[in-house]
Amino acid sequence: MYKIIAKHLNTYFGDAHILKDINFKVAENTVTALIGPSGCGKSTFLRSINRMNDLIPTFKREGTLLLDEEDIYSPEMDVVNLRRKVGMVFQKPNPFPKSIFDNVSYGLKIHGIDDEGFIEQRVEESLKSAAIWDEVKDKLDQSAMSLSGGQQQRLCIARTIANNPEVILMDEPCSALDPISTLKIEDLIHKLKKDYTIIIVTHNMQQASRVSDYTSFFLNGEIIESDETERLFVSPKEQKTEEYITGRFG
């Protein structure tokens, strides 16, 4: 069974046709990488899945997008619950200007959980899953702003995990980080795979081949090719894919 399915998905910002007839499937507990030159619609696709594009007044959509066979854009869909189930990690680490603890407990609190003991336990688990517990366990009440960029990004992952999501969307999560922090996040993605379905946008082809099981190549709002990562990189079927991964453009 597929976790996420897109069928003939088209999106627009005003008159600009951004995503063109996207057909896409993601299996549960896999990592899928979205690659492609910038401006080709990777973020737009990702933000369609948790309906973050709804914030943009000019956004329009046609076609279907399913999460567990349920239409993400149906009028009955509870967006609050959708975004709890489909967490997002952004390109620039964006912790709240609050304490480390309050950052991680934020999602629990807004979803009405107020059992202190449960929250504390959950914060600890999430920080451990995000491989940052050892670095912050003695300063949970310090501001998240005092952490390094890489730590902030792992904190943002912990914050997402605390919500107990099923899918995690990552939009170039390492593009603002140094190589060592990048490696830590990649390790983390490997570990998270057994519990979560992950879709990651990346500009970095090595990263895509290191972390993902499947890869989709986007170009000008279309998916040119989707395949198992190894196969796509070793023997792409499409000329354009080959040109892109061998660095001839983009």
Scanning residues 55 to 84, which ones bind ligand ADP (CB under 6 A)? 56
Nearer to another protein, 19 or 104 (CB): 104
d(CA 50, CA 86): 6
Return the closest-CA partner of residue 32 out of 220, 187, 201. 201
Nearer to another protein, 159 or 184 (CB): 159
Q: Select the residue interacting with another protein from 6, 32, 72, 107 (CB under 8 A).
A: 107
Nearer to another protein, 145 or 234 (CB): 145
Print the binding letters for residues 2-31 with Mg ion: x by CB under 5 A, - otherwise. ------------------------------
Among 126-134, 141-149, 176-184, 195-203, the segment contacting another protein (CB under 8 A): 141-149
Q: Where are the alpha helices (DSSP H) in the chain?
A: 42-49, 79-85, 100-110, 116-129, 133-136, 149-162, 179-192, 205-211, 229-234, 239-245
d(CA 137, CA 101): 10
Question: Closest distance between ligand ADP and the C-beta of residue 43, in Å?
Answer: 3
**Cβ-based neighbours of 73, under 8 Å, separated by 6 or more:** 51, 61, 64, 65
**Residue labelled with tokens 């949970």:** 140
Print the binding letters for residues 32-61 with another protein: x by CB under 8 A, - otherwise. ------------------x-x--x------
Q: Which residues bind Mg ion (CB under 5 A)?
A: 43
